Amino acid sequence: MCGFVCLWNVGDEELAGSMIRKIAHRGPDAVEVATLENAPVVMAHCRLSIIGPEDGAQPIYQSSEMLIANGEIYNHRDLRAILGASAFETQSDSETILHLFRSGEARWISRLDGMFAFVLATRNRIVAARDPLGIKPLYLARIGEGYAFASELKAFDGVAVESIEAIPPGTLYDSEAGWRQWYRTPHGAAELEPGTDIDRTAAELRLVLEEAVAKWMVADVEVGAFLSGGLDSSIIAAIAQRVRTDQGKGPLKTFSVGTEGSPDLLAARMVAEHIGSDHREYVFTAEDLAENLRHVIYHLESADVDLVRSAIPTLFAARLARAEVKAVLTGEGADELFAGYTYHHEYVDDPRALADELTRSLGTMHNINLQRVDRVTMAESLEARTPFLDRELIDFAQSIPAALKLCRTDPEAEEATGETTEKWILRKACADLLPTRLVWRKKAQFDEGSGTVDALTGALQRLTGFDEVDRAAEGALYERLLREAYQDPERILENAGTWDSADRVAVPAD
């Protein structure tokens, strides 16, 4: 996991160096600035060594091409075998991008399986792209007649740019061929067809999920897991623990945070004991929130109330985990794939509308929850991995009828109870992994289950001096703190992630 900057037709190494230093928290292991001979390109990279730690330094320079990348290519070993291992000069997974590009295949990028953003340059061409759902960030700005690319908005702060925009998920820019949307999220199925074998559907979902978790655990360093005690993170942790056991490794390290006695801490302890993980927890207070709020908002690059609230416990979890590991698994994506939000209940009698809404919300994750997870974990030099957003899992989950995801009653029950259950098919698929009371535990937002909302009340009182702080005043405080943190806050706010009216609901539980 890394951060990078690329200047094209700008040619200013000093500028590239100053920009990369603003996001150096993303990669504390090494920082490099390099140019490509006889080409108008400068690349800067900060590295967090996860795969190929010995020889995976970037930028990767070979012949007349140069590459910088952020993220992980999980099928890099398979690609090495297909492309010819002898052609590779490093053990870095990112090098596969370079060789696929050289293959000349029209859809070479579609063969990359993972989370990534990259910029690749030749002497007269530049190519930049982002993974299918935008798990890893990538921004593009204009500087005169040239371009500047960066992993975070703060890299551009104080730089005289004409415009900044996020490269959309699943999109590639080629200076020769223009823009391509190389990936489109498959549209979700709706009604339950007669004769559907629900048991087989659940069993196959379990297999696909297990493969996704195993794949997203590939690393040359130890991978832990966030564990909130909610369904999503608990499932991921339970499967990950089994993967480590099968590999003959020790217990999975799990990490949980919350206020004293909060539901998440109690549930996480129960899960950790059940699966046998090596569990760590951190109890935070209102004072902790007040002390870290400015830090959270600066790194989050947003003043949105819901994002800030959920980013606070994420920060404490990231700090706790980074003391032990360099990478963690998280449960992001399950709510969008399997109908886990409270507002989804409005669609319980309209599976088609629910399927459409789930597909839409998958397409907005890059600017909301995925931005929160990326910025806050990388602020602590920690790589967060999201197995629920594995491409094969997305494809399979979208093929499952929405009628099996949100059910007014158990589809297999003889008598209707009238109770609506979110993520029903996911619960069924993983029911044996966890105690029954945890599998069917009702959802709580991360900021509520962790106790953040209550602790935040005290923190806001300390920061404002008022006995009561309503939502509008809370948002105004967050915006003020963001404006104070940046030289050019308008650029940040213009591109900030927000829960707009179309998103309907605040952040997920895991």
For 135-178, how does the pLDDT look when each residue is reduced to its tens digit (9 = 90+)?
999 999 999 999 999 999 999 999 999 999 999 999 999 999 99
> Which residues does residue 148 pair with via DSSP β-bridges, in sequence order?
7, 141
In terms of DSSP bridges, do strands 223-226 and 253-258 run parallel, antiparallel, or are they unpaired?
A: parallel
Inter-CA distances, 196 with 348, 401, 424, Å: 19, 10, 15
pTM of the model: 0.93
Nearest to 94 by CA among 76, 106, 79: 76
How confident is the model at residue 397, as a pLDDT?
Answer: 98
The three-state (H, E, C) secondary structure of 144-179, written as one string: CCEEEEECCHHHHCCCCCCEEEECCCCEEEECCCEE
Task: Give the model's pLDDT for residue 156.
Answer: 97
pLDDT digits (tens, 9 = 90+) for 30-63: 899 999 988 999 999 999 888 766 666 889 988 8
Residues forming beta bridges with residue 310, ordered by sequence position: none
Q: Which of 32-46, 245-259, 298-312, 452-466 comes out lowest in average pLDDT?
A: 452-466
73 close to 56: Cβ distance less than 8 angstroms: no
Where do you find CATH 3.40.50.620 in the chain? 200-285+306-446
Whether residue 25 has pLDDT greater than 90? yes
Architecture of the domain made up of 200-285+306-446: 3-Layer(aba) Sandwich (3.40)
Is residue 376 a contact partner of residue 296, using CB atoms and an 8 Å limit?
yes
Which residue ranges does the chain devote to CATH 3.60.20.10?
2-181
pLDDT value at residue 414: 46
b/e 370-386 (16+ beta carbons within 10 angstroms → b): bbbbbbbbbbbbbbbbb
Task: State the pLDDT confidence band at 502, using cuts at 50, 70 and 90.
Answer: very low
pLDDT tens across 277-336, in order?
999 999 999 999 999 999 999 999 999 999 999 999 999 999 999 999 999 999 999 999
| The pLDDT of residue 351 is above 60 | yes
Find where tokens 């989370």 sit: 115
pLDDT attached to residue 449: 66
- Judged against a pLDDT cut of 90, whether residue 100 lies above it is answered with yes
Mean predicted confidence (pLDDT) in 254-282: 95
Give me the CATH topology for the region 2-181: Glutamine Phosphoribosylpyrophosphate, subunit 1, domain 1 (3.60.20)
pLDDT in tens, 119-131: 999 999 999 999 9
2 annotated active-site: yes
Confidence at residue 300, expressed as pLDDT on a 0 to 100 scale:
97
- Residue matched to tokens 């030099």: 381
Which residue out of 2, 6, 407, 430 is catalytically annotated?
Answer: 2
pLDDT, mean over the chain = 92
pLDDT given for residue 445 in this prediction: 52
Q: What Å distances lie between residue 408 and 7, 119, 418, 505, 508, CA to CA?
A: 54, 47, 5, 20, 21
Angle, CA of 352, 354 and 357, to the nearest 5°: 110
Mean pLDDT of 412-430: 79
Provide the 3-class DSSP secondary structure of residue 282. strand
The annotation status of 257 as a binding-site residue, yes or no, is yes
Residue 508 in this model has a pLDDT that exceeds 50: no
Of 17-26, 295-304, 494-503, least confident by mean pLDDT is: 494-503
Strand arrangement, sheet containing 41-47: 30-35, 41-47, 2-8, 146-150, 139-143, 163-166
pLDDT of residue 443: 60
The arithmetic mean of pLDDT across residues 235-245, rounded, is: 98
